[in-house]
Amino acid sequence: MELNSSKEIVAEEITSLISVMSADLRPGRGVGDFARRVATELADRRVESVIEDRRGREPSGVLRGSDECVFLQFVPYAWHERGLIGPTARAEIMERCDGRRVAVYMHELWIGESRRDSWKNRLVGWWQRRGVLRLLHELRPKLVLTSIPVYQAMLKRHGIDAELSQLPSNLPASSAADCVAAEEWLGGRKLNDQTQIVLGGVFGAIHPEWEPVPVIREWVDFARSMGREPVLLVLGISGLAARKVLSELGEGVANLRIERAGVLSARLLSALIQRVEVGFAPTPWALIGKSGSVAAFRAAGVPVVVTRNDWTWRGGAVPARVEDTGLQLWEPGFDWSRLKGEKSRGGGEIGKIVDRLQEFMNWSGRDHLSSGVSKEALSPKKMNR
């Protein structure tokens, strides 16, 4: 029987509990929001689950069972401030997963893989990679998922078969009440007049490599030529680099209003994103599929302009990313008017990830899984390449 042939899979009653785990799964932190969406979808299917991180388990009264699965959300920097998965971090993760079946979603891998990376990043990335590969070697998960072809190729180079699973929005759908709250929020800042104001948005982490002045200046000029005043909404947790990048943006684009919303509830964020007319992505084009923020814009039907195309894998060729409706790569002289016709919903679905996770629960004790870490993978030669 083929695992990927869903028509042939015989449904089995699932009694196991799933622990959705990482180092930090607080709301408003990207991976934390994603994990909570997974847990909510499981609850809707009457599958028991908990959120588990360094703070403990939610709900706290649910004890660890013998027939329990771990769905590990892996981001190196969540476990160590420099992303180094050394003996201490590996021991912690192994202890948290001990005795349980493990599936891993590799949200990020390691740095230093771009042709344009500095020698410093390559050196740090070398240590990061060794730690990540040793962790996978020790965990030996039966199922490895990741979001983009380049990550799949990077893992494959080291003997790890990962399945591609398109990342869905990390925000829940907004209700009518949420939309009312969003209008009140905008009204309090005099941003709710759509005939006079056009909203652009940046959601989530702003990387220090992001240089948004040329693209934002073009967008501002286009908006003003159409008789509307552009305002850039900065939503969510922007990170340490945001202050410098946004300061340079304010200096580089005359009279641009930048409204920093900061941390808001997930549902209010979702409703505000629906009022944005264009999203701007600080993530490089080749890595865009790993961005939950971009997925949130696309799930709301907001077209996204990707402003960076500076990442090329130095390890080999990967399938080229192509433009599609609602996701466009910026170049000088961009046709801003065409975005009006690209306000359509797209992106991944949380249900598909949970489908695969439930298959894993049913089949992880057998040998039919099509991805994971084989016994032959991660030889010293491969780990040091």
pLDDT in tens, 267-287: 999 999 999 999 999 999 999
Residues contacting residue 336 through CB under 8 Å, at least 6 positions apart: 218, 219, 222, 278
Tell me what pLDDT residue 357 has.
92
Residues contacting residue 226 through CB under 8 Å, at least 6 positions apart: 198
The two structure tokens encoding residue 62: 């649910």
Judge whether 109 and 132 are in contact, CB under 8 Å: yes
What is the rounded distance in angstroms from the CA atom of residue 180 to the CA atom of residue 28? Answer: 21
CATH topology of domain 176-342: Rossmann fold (3.40.50)
In the three-class reduction of DSSP (H, G, I as helix; E, B as strand; rest coil), residue 77 is classed as: helix
- Pinpoint the alpha helices (H) of the chain: 31-44, 76-79, 87-97, 119-139, 149-156, 176-188, 213-225, 242-252, 266-275, 292-299, 350-363, 380-383
Residue type for 23, please? A
pLDDT per residue as tens digits for the range 340-375 = 877 778 778 899 999 999 998 886 554 444 556 655
Tell me what pLDDT residue 193 has.
92
What is the rounded distance in angstroms from the CA atom of residue 276 to the CA atom of residue 262? Answer: 16
Q: Which of 153-162, 180-189, 216-225, 361-370 has the lowest mean pLDDT?
A: 361-370
Q: Check pLDDT > 60 for residue 13.
A: no
Share of the chain above pLDDT 90, in %: 71
* Side-chain-side CA neighbours of residue 278 (13 Å): 29
Residues contacting residue 66 through CB under 8 Å, at least 6 positions apart: 99
Tell me what pLDDT residue 383 has.
57
Q: Which of 2-6, 42-46, 346-350 has the lowest mean pLDDT?
A: 2-6
Q: Check pLDDT > 60 for residue 95.
A: yes
One of 3.90.1720, 3.40.50, 3.30.70, 1.20.120 is the CATH number of 6-168+350-383, namely 3.40.50
Residues of the chain with CATH 3.40.50.2000: 176-342
